[in-house]
Copies of this chain bind each other. A is one copy, B any other.
Amino acid sequence: MKEVNQFKIEDDDDIVNLMSSLKSTGFNAKRLAIACEIYKQMIRDKDCVKFFGLAGALVPAGMQKIIHDFIEEGYIDILVTTGASLTHDIAETLGFHHLQGNLNVTEMSDSELHNQDLNRIYDVFLPNNVYEGIEGFVSKLEIPDPNMPVSSFLKFLGDTLPKNDNSILKICAEKNIPIFCPAFTDSGLALQLGFHHQNLNFNHFIDMLKMVDLAWDAKKAGVCIVGGGVPKNFIMQSLQFCPNSASYAIQITMDRPEQGGLSGATLTEAVSWGKVNEKAKYSTVIADATIALPLILWYLKKATK
C-alpha cells in the first residue's frame, strides 16, 4: 500500500507536475489526477473510441473554446449533448454573447432581470435579443430534408454556420465528429425550428441505432461524462452493446448517488449493467466542470505533446 504524498507546489511547476503530485493524495484531488491520466491513456490507445457526454450550461459559463479544443485536438470522437448547449453554441458562433452577472447573485432581482429582458443562468445572463438573433439565422435555414436524423441536421448546421474559432458545431462538422442530441426538441433551437419550418420530423431512432452501431463496432470504448443527464444515459445505454463495455470512464459531476438518479450514479454501478467493464480504469470527480475541464484540457495538451 502506497503512502500519501505530502507534496510541495513550486511556482514554476506545470500542470503535469501538479497532477503527478495530486495522484499521490486522496479525495477528489486524487480522482482528478487519475481522470487526467485515464484520459491521456484513452488518447494514446489507438483502438479507443472516445465518447463525450456534455450536459450543463458550459457555453454560457465560458467553456465553449475549451470544448472546441477538446474536439480540435482529437480528444473526442463522438459528442452527445443537450439542445441547450447547441443553442448557446449557435448564439456565440453568430457573434452574440453571454454576460457576466455579479458574483453576489442577489443584487438584481429576477423580476428586474425579467423586465430588462435578461435571462439568468445562475450568475450568467442571456439577453433576449440573442434569441432573436438565433431566430433570424434559423428562420432562413434551407433544411435539406424534414425527416433527416438529428445528427445529420447538426452536421448541416455546422456546415452552414459562419467560420468561427470557438464553435463546437463548426469544429465537429469540419472534423466529421458526429453530434447526437437525443432530447433535441427540449431546446430553444428546436422551438425556433418548429415555429419557422413546417412538418419537421427529424429522426431520433436512426441516431439511436447509429449510436448502438458505433458502440458495437468499437474495439475499445472510452467515455468522459460531464454533468450527467440525457447525454450520460444515452452513451451508457449504447455501451451495453459494446463487446467489451467501456475500458476507460471518467465523469465530472456535482450530483450525488444516494437518491438513485443516473446523473449522480457511480461508475461502479455501471459495471453491474455491463456498460463499464469490470476491469476498466475509471474515476468520478466530484467537481464543478468549469474548474475541472480546463485543468484536464491543460494537462492533456501538455502531457500528450
Assess the A256–B286 pair: CB atoms within 8 A: yes
Q: Does A217 contact B (CB under 8 A)?
A: no
Assembly CA distance A283 to B102 (angstroms): 11
Q: Which of B84, B113, B147, B282 contacts A201 (CB 8 A)?
A: B147
- The 8 A CB mask of A285-303 against B (1 = contact, 0 = none) is 0111111101001100110
Assess the B27–A123 pair: CB atoms within 8 A: yes
Q: Does A125 contact B (CB under 8 A)?
A: yes
Q: Does A161 contact B (CB under 8 A)?
A: no
Q: Does A214 contact B (CB under 8 A)?
A: no
Q: Could you say which of A43-51, A52-60, A170-178 contacts chain B?
A: A52-60
- A114-161 residues with Cβ-Cβ distance < 8 A to B are 114, 118-125, 147
Residues on B with C-beta less than 8 A from A1 are: 99-101, 125
Q: Does A243 contact B (CB under 8 A)?
A: no
Assess the B84–A262 pair: CB atoms within 8 A: yes
Assess the B288–A258 pair: CB atoms within 8 A: yes
Assess the A261–B57 pair: CB atoms within 8 A: yes
Find the residue from A28, A100, A187 having the highest chain B CB count within 10 A: A28
Q: Which of B27, B100, B101, B202 contacts A259 (CB 8 A)?
A: B27
Residues on B with C-beta less than 8 A from A113 are: 271-272
Assess the A61–B27 pair: CB atoms within 8 A: yes
Residue of B nearest to A245 (CB): B114
Assembly CA distance A4 to B58 (angstroms): 11
Residues on B with C-beta less than 8 A from A123 are: 26-27, 30, 260
- Contacts A29-B62, A122-B260, A261-B55 given; does A106 touch B106 at CB 8 Å: yes
- A5-56 residues with Cβ-Cβ distance < 8 A to B are 5-11, 13, 18, 21-22, 24-32, 34, 55-56
Q: Does A64 contact B (CB under 8 A)?
A: yes
Residues on B with C-beta less than 8 A from A3 are: 97-100
Q: Which of B188, B194, B278 contacts A209 (CB 8 A)?
A: B194
Q: Does A219 contact B (CB under 8 A)?
A: no
Q: Does A257 contact B (CB under 8 A)?
A: yes
- A237-258 residues with Cβ-Cβ distance < 8 A to B are 237, 254-258
Assess the B11–A298 pair: CB atoms within 8 A: yes
Q: Does A263 contact B (CB under 8 A)?
A: yes
Nearest 9 pairs of A and B residues by beta carbon = A25-B62, A29-B290, A183-B183, A28-B288, A110-B271, A26-B61, A122-B260, A113-B272, A120-B272
Residue of B nearest to A124 (CB): B26
